[in-house]
Structure 1
Amino acid sequence: MERTEVSFDIETIPLTIRQYIKGATIYDSSCSENAKTLFVSGEERAFLKISKRGSLEREYKMTKFLHKHNVAPNAIAYESGLDYDYLFTEAVSGENGTAVPHIENPSKLACVFGEYLKMLHSLPTEGCPYGNRTNELLNEAHIKGIDLSIMNEYNYSAIDNVIIHGDYCLPNILMDNFSFKGFIDLGYGGVGDRHYDIYWGIWTLNYNLKTDKYKDIFLDAYGRNDINDDGLNYFTKLIKLTD
């Protein structure tokens, strides 16, 4: 993960977060056009994410929820200002799934990537702040003017019954030599249908490894008995229509 030391005026951020970064060295660690991510190295080793107002509340709530299950970092503070949201989370040790030590062993990577997804989907859903992820996705499709009757070609009814990440891609899992450390960037998560995450798991392996040869390792590690082919086809179609 590239980090570039930057000068940063801490007076521009809310007081509740300013107290944590006073005197710290700040590095730009952004990897998205939608948010500025700063690595804070001081008394706290943490990340400060800054994005448009209202855009980080879900990530904050999902991170707090999953931290209680020891699979996400601690969300230390969240503030929503006039123009921007500010999310301050602890820095978890380890590197993401695209780090060289992980990519250099693609078979092992695909295997643990499937195992850790199954672990996430096995968590209890009670207390999750977002309980209808599939309905949200279908509503988004409807707003975009997509005729959802075309989904009837699949003999599958999408359900909300597991905790999903919502953006299950290799950059969003932290590991130390394949040992799980935490899930990050949880702003699309909630209680949803497992096949949504499974689709993105297949996609990211293809994209980051530049081949589809590790798909079966991933699916075997997740557990074929819990994968419905029609369900996977359903979400493959839905995502391609809405992405």
Structure 2
Amino acid sequence: MKRTKISFDLAQLPRAIRAHCSNAAIYDSSCSEGAKTLLVQGTNITGSAYLKISAKGSLERECHMTRFLNGHQVAPEVVAYETDAEHDYLLMEAVAGEDGVSGVHLENPTLLAIAFGEHLRMLHSLPVDNCPYTHRTAEMIGAVKDKNSQLPFITQLQKVAVDDVIIHGDYCLPNIMMDHYAFTGFIDLGHGGIGDRHYDLYWGMWTLNYNLKTDRYHDVFLNAYGSADVDRERLVHFARLVALTEGSS
């Protein structure tokens, strides 16, 4: 992860957030234009923490999903969540290890693909009870249904999709933390909920292709996940849904 030490005016933060960051060293670790991510190290923080700052209302879902999955010990603890007139502020304990695109993990693509599949299977095996967000496929379809004419395809997807597992919602290599391939935590959970496993499987295949510059590890990933539970037709359907979703954003 990118880490650049910066000077940051803590006075612009809500008081509850500021109290945890007093006298801390602040590093810019942002990786998207839509949100600022700061690494907070030092006084009043147990170890290290990450502070996300984004548009008002945009981090609420991530807060709730992170808290839910922290209860299953697979996500960081939420230290504080605050909102003001313009922004959301989400402070979370840092997860040990390095993300899936760190050099140590890219050194052995086969081991990476195996671990990536096994860790996704673990996520999909968690109990869905009390998950704060259900019917993720319906939400995704709703986001594009009124903006596209692909109604026959959407109708077919509604017939075959099964929302029965906890999905990450953005299952890409930067969003899993590991210690030499051993799982330490999932991060960036703002698109998670109860959904169809094939949505995560599609993104898992996509990120392996994107980050490794080849699709040769797709089967390694799917076999590690459990190929008996992979429906190739549903993978195609979700690939089309993603294409529609990206096109409507």
Q: Which residue of 2 aligns with 1:6?
A: 6
Structure 1's 75 and 143: CA in aligned 2 closer, same or farther, altered over 3 A? farther
Q: Is the Cα–Cα contact under 8 Å of residues 128 and 190 in structure 1 kept in the other structure? A: yes
Q: Is the 8 A contact 1:205 1:212 kept in 2?
A: yes
Deviations 1:190-230 (A, max 9, x none): 00000000000000000000000000000000001111111
Q: Which amino acid aligns with 2:36?
A: K
Deviation at 1:143, TM superposition (A): 3.2
Query: Structure 1 residue aligned with 2:88, among 85, 90, 98?
Result: 85
Secondary structure in structure 2 of the residue aligned to 1:232: helix
Residue pair 2:76, 2:185 contacting (<8 A) in 1 also: yes
Q: 1:55 to 1:153 in 2, by over 3 A?
A: closer
Map of 1:52 onto structure 2: 55
d(CA) in 1 for partners of 2:60, 2:157: 34
Q: Deviations over 1:26-66 (max 9, x none)?
A: 00000010100000001311000000000000000000000
1:125 to 125, 128, 146: 128
| Aligned-partner SS, 1:98 | coil
**TM-score, with structure 1 as normaliser:** 0.97
What does 1:38-77 align with in structure 2 at a 5 Å threshold?
38-43=38-43, 44=45, 45-77=48-80
8 Å Cα contact 1:155/1:230 also seen in 2: no
> Where does structure 2 lack aligned partners over 5 or more consecutive residues?
none
Alignment of 1:82-161 (within 5 A): 82-151=85-154, 157-161=160-164
Structure 1 match to 2:168: 165
Residue of structure 1 equivalent to 2:210: 207
- Residue by residue, what CA displacement relative to the aligned partner does 1:102-126 show, whole Å, maximum 9, x if unpaired? 0010000000000000000000000
Instruction: Measure, in 2, the Cα distance between the counterparts of 1:93 and 1:12.
Output: 28
Pick one of 223, 227, 231 that aligns with 1:224: 227
Alpha-carbon deviation of 1:144? 2.3
State the alpha-carbon separation in 2 of the partners of residues 120 and 128 from structure 1: 13
8 Å Cα contact 2:124/2:167 also seen in 1: yes
CA contact (8 A) 2:148 2:244 kept: no
Query: Contact 2:141 / 2:154 at 8 angstroms: preserved in 1?
Result: no
Which residue identity is paired with 2:204?
A: G
Identify unmatched segments of 5+ residues in structure 1. none
One-letter amino acid of the counterpart of residue 63, structure 1: T
Residue 133 of structure 1 deviates from its aligned partner by: 0.5
Contact kept in structure 2, 1:133 and 1:192, CA below 8 Å: yes
1:234 alignment partner AA: H
Q: Is the 8 A contact 1:156 1:234 kept in 2?
A: no
- The structural deviation recorded for 1:147 is 2.7
Equivalent residue for 1:198? 201
TM-score (norm 2): 0.95
The letter of the residue matching 1:35 is: A
Q: Name the SS of the counterpart of 1:87 in structure 2.
A: strand
Point out the more displaced range, 151-160 or 188-197. 151-160
